[in-house]
Amino acid sequence: MPFTTDELQPTTGFPAPHAQRCADGAEIARRAGAFLAINVANPVHRASFDAMDRLRAATAGRRGVRQYAIRVTGASGSGKSTLAKSFRDVVIRRGLHEPDDLPVVYVELEQACTVKRMWSAILRGYGDEFHDVGTLEDLRARAIGVIQRRRTELLVIDEVQHLFHRSKDGLGATDAFKRLLDAGVCSVALIGDLEGRRLLESNPQLVNRMVSPADVRVLDAASPSDLALVAGFLKRYDDRMVAATLHPERAGLEDPRIVAGLMDAGAGLLGVMVNVVREASDHAHLRGATRLEPFDLATAARTWSGGQGRQRHNPFAIR
């Protein structure tokens, strides 16, 4: 049941952003940094995280023999890149490796990426200041050398759809990954969007070198367990916002009506729901409210979700 018109009226602060708060650049910058620093584990990522960790552990115990790849794809806003970076950070923080080892390395590919640029990006991931100097074979040899020297177990390649965008580069990429895996250099996690999933599924040579996919699923608004999962996540996120002094008071984001509205606004993607909450939080701050209110969520759904063509109705208001 959405909120009534009366319930969507602001109860604290001004009804619109206040000019003085809008002009406080230092506080706006602080809030932006505070939001980036909030780290609440996405429960939807757990299965993907565990699958990557199992593959990494298997690699550590069988170096020099054929290794495998794992596919981790999902819709835009599902938090794939956040998952990949968090996985790297968690494995490093465990401290179970030698000081000079890098068990997990994260690599983000640029658009229209070629195989040569892929090897360059891998070298950049290891901090090589000359990552773009040399021929394709030079870069490949140096990349494989540093992977082996730093005893990397899992190479995480993000935005793989940029690599398989053309048939020629796709064939070259397939060959590059085949040689890497068959030589037992390391295992590879291939992270991408739904287009990346389609391209990987149509590549039998890579499919035959993969373990079961660990794709990030979309949450189902009709599932009580998924609604409970989202409510728990939002409650923890609400607590973190107060701890980061983004608001003096909690918003009560675990309210079933807020959960349902955010599930609708985010199309079942927690990353998109967080974007809506962030926009609502900024709106609440700018109007001097002591907490984020349903009024702010409805405003964010209209201006952020609706303004970008994601939604034609306001999920927080009675239609």
- Asked if residue 209 lies in contact with residue 199, where contact means CB atoms within 8 angstroms, the answer is no
- Asked if residue 200 lies in contact with residue 157, where contact means CB atoms within 8 angstroms, the answer is no
Distance CA 174, CA 166 (A): 12
Q: What is the pLDDT of residue 29?
A: 95
Counted residue by residue, the chain has a size of: 319
- Where in the sequence of the chain do the CATH 3.40.50.300 domains occur? 43-207
- Asked if residue 287 lies in contact with residue 10, where contact means CB atoms within 8 angstroms, the answer is yes
Q: What is the pLDDT of residue 166?
A: 62
Would you tell me how many other CB atoms lie within 10 Å of the CB of residue 35? 17
Buried residues in 167-198 as b, exposed as e (16+ CB within 10 A): eebbebbbebbeebbeeebbbbbbbbbeebbe
Reply yes or no on domain 43-207 having CATH 1.10.10.10.
Answer: no
Q: What is the pLDDT of residue 170?
A: 65
What is each CA distance from 291 to 54, 101, 152, 251, 281, in whole angstroms? Answer: 42, 45, 45, 6, 8
Q: What is the pLDDT of residue 251?
A: 97
DSSP assignment of 68-97 equals -EEEEE--TTS-HHHHHHHHHHHHHHHT-S
Q: Which amino acid is at 309?
A: G
What is each CA distance from 163 to 124, 249, 277, in whole angstroms? Answer: 17, 46, 33
Per-residue pLDDT of the chain in tens (319 residues, 90 and over written 9)? 789 999 999 999 999 998 888 888 999 999 999 999 998 989 999 999 999 999 999 998 888 899 999 999 999 889 999 999 999 999 999 999 999 999 999 999 998 889 999 999 999 999 999 999 999 999 999 999 999 999 999 999 999 999 876 656 667 888 899 999 999 999 999 999 999 898 888 888 889 999 999 999 999 999 999 999 999 999 999 999 999 999 999 999 999 999 999 999 999 999 999 999 999 999 999 999 999 999 999 999 988 876 666 667 889 887 6
Phi, psi of 98 (to 5 degrees): -70, 155
252: which DSSP letter? -
Q: How would you list the strands of the sheet with 154-158, edge to edge?
A: 69-73, 187-192, 154-158, 104-108
Distance CA 22, CA 194 (A): 38
Q: What's the first-to-final CA gap in the chain, in angstroms?
A: 10
Distance CA 268, CA 233 (A): 13
Alpha-carbon 309 to chain mean position: 21
Strands 187-192 and 154-158: parallel
- Asked if residue 189 lies in contact with residue 52, where contact means CB atoms within 8 angstroms, the answer is yes
Q: What is the pLDDT of residue 19?
A: 85
317: which DSSP letter? B
Q: What token pair was written down for 248?
A: 């003096």
